[in-house]
Structure 1
């Protein structure tokens, strides 16, 4: 019988910080508690921001922390065909439609609309600019050379379900939710599954990867708790296995703000260069020194 697998899946678009260290150590601890394997996945489909140097730095940081993983490391950039196949399947089901509108056009369409609904991340829901385009209208837009993003028709997708979506939460959500939790993909509206710049999206890639790698328990931060609704919907539509989830607390700065690469929070590399040891990092984050 195969040992259970647990995955840590960073994106190489910057250097790891203490928040990433906590997530990696949390996943390592779950693997050890379950006599399972630690899987490392490099989520590098965003070729605009991801860099090979950052991927190398991730491996270096994890080794410094004392984390070992099952080889080979899965790199999403090697599996783009799988994600495109999943998109094509959803398209054949009549669940995708092209959107040619730029971000600015979407923003302009929302000007003056009061109390417009927002998704769990606080972004306004897509106002349906190009939903329901005729064949002629689509052809005209394509002649302009504007690339299309592919959006999920949320109403049609939900209509294909024969029962309400739920997921099994082993940890806690932002409000302390645990146990069997209702999944609410509709809160995201007609979200993009095929990005105009890279062809696929995080949501498609992550559910395919978790199924391909046999991940039965997904460990990740509470900032992804609400995204689980989208992932459960895609798993149901694509007939993928249903994992359990264990969302862990987030590491913040002195003001309680979540650490992030975009804010240029101090990296593990910089802490190491300042003389901090891996054992000190582990203890600071609540884990055993080794």
Structure 2
């Protein structure tokens, strides 16, 4: 009898070079890394650099240097989305050929005037579902979504479900300015890299049903999901460049790691020493069940 071996665990960390690593992104990286290593798995790093106007010069190098300084070592080569346009084009052409995607030349203003608010922006009203308006050349490509509920069970956040047509609408795969949308790129990359478990911040939980539907349309295997708690400031805002979150100090890597573990519900003992000892403690004590599901507040008022 022929048996199919289960592929090894393969996770990833996929930062955007629109800013440097801060407390929130480092905490996500640490949680992702521990899930992979404690399952004897692979941990990859992918730089999601598909939006050049938002990229900070030198941020990609600084992110990788910070990961290494904190003792997070990835497997294989670092992947850059900016070098993978051919893969995204191939996937889009397949979706178009199979009737899953269509061209849309609506302006943002037209959509804003007619659309209602959804779970992540405005719900596209479907103006171009039956064909674009004449006399306009520039257009985006959208994915048709079903009028059905898309659901999955997240290992930390529990049940996750959306009715895509009601909550999101047909979403963009390729923007009118020629930039690939996050949803398409991340799904194609995860499948091509063999990622079978995704550990990331809970701010991306709202994107998961869209990605599940896109995986279905492309006949990709569905990975497992685990969305770690969001790191927020005292005002309840997600830590980010926009909320002036300070960059991680590579010179204080041991302390930065200690704080990241604490935010994940794993406060090391007081007698744990340097960086190597801290990682040894983390590997021995990591339990996903100890990680809080809800937001973690960083800093005072």
For this structure pair, what is the TM-score category when the shorter chain's length is used for normalisation? 0.7 to 0.9
- CA separation in 2, counterparts of 1:171 and 1:206? 21
C-alpha deviation, 1:183, in angstroms: 5.0
Indicate yes or no: 2:104 matched with 1:99.
yes
Specify the alignment match of 1:263 in structure 2.
Answer: 243
**Runs (5+) with no aligned partner, structure 1:** 111-115
Selected match of 1:141 from 122, 136, 140: 136
Specify the alignment match of 1:132 in structure 2.
Answer: 130
Specify the alignment match of 1:244 in structure 2.
Answer: 224
**Runs (5+) with no aligned partner, structure 2:** 269-277, 280-301
Selected match of 2:142 from 151, 160, 167: 151
Check the 8 A contact 2:116/2:123 in 1, yes or no: yes
Selected match of 1:168 from 134, 144, 153: 153
Indicate yes or no: 2:170 matched with 1:185.
no
Specify the alignment match of 1:220 in structure 2.
Answer: 200
Check the 8 A contact 1:7/1:215 in 2, yes or no: yes
- CA separation in 2, counterparts of 1:209 and 1:247? 18
Specify the alignment match of 1:254 in structure 2.
Answer: 234
C-alpha deviation, 1:17, in angstroms: 0.9
User: What is the total number of aligned residue pairs between the two structures?
Assistant: 259
* TM-score (norm: length of structure 2): 0.79
* TM-score (norm: length of structure 1): 0.82
C-alpha deviation, 1:51, in angstroms: 4.4
C-alpha deviation, 1:239, in angstroms: 0.3
Check the 8 A contact 2:199/2:225 in 1, yes or no: yes
Worse overlay, 12-21 or 91-100: 91-100
- CA RMSD in angstroms comes to 2.2
SS at match of 1:48: helix
Specify the alignment match of 2:299 in structure 1.
Answer: none
Indicate yes or no: 2:66 matched with 1:61.
yes
- Runs of 4+ aligned residues of structure 1 deviating over 6 Å after TM superposition are none
Pair 245,8 (structure 1): closer, same or farther in 2 beyond 3 Å: same
SS at match of 1:225: helix
Indicate yes or no: 2:81 matched with 1:76.
yes
Specify the alignment match of 1:113 in structure 2.
Answer: none
Counterparts of residues 102-117 of structure 1 (less than 5 Å): 102-107=107-112, 109-110=113-114, 117=116
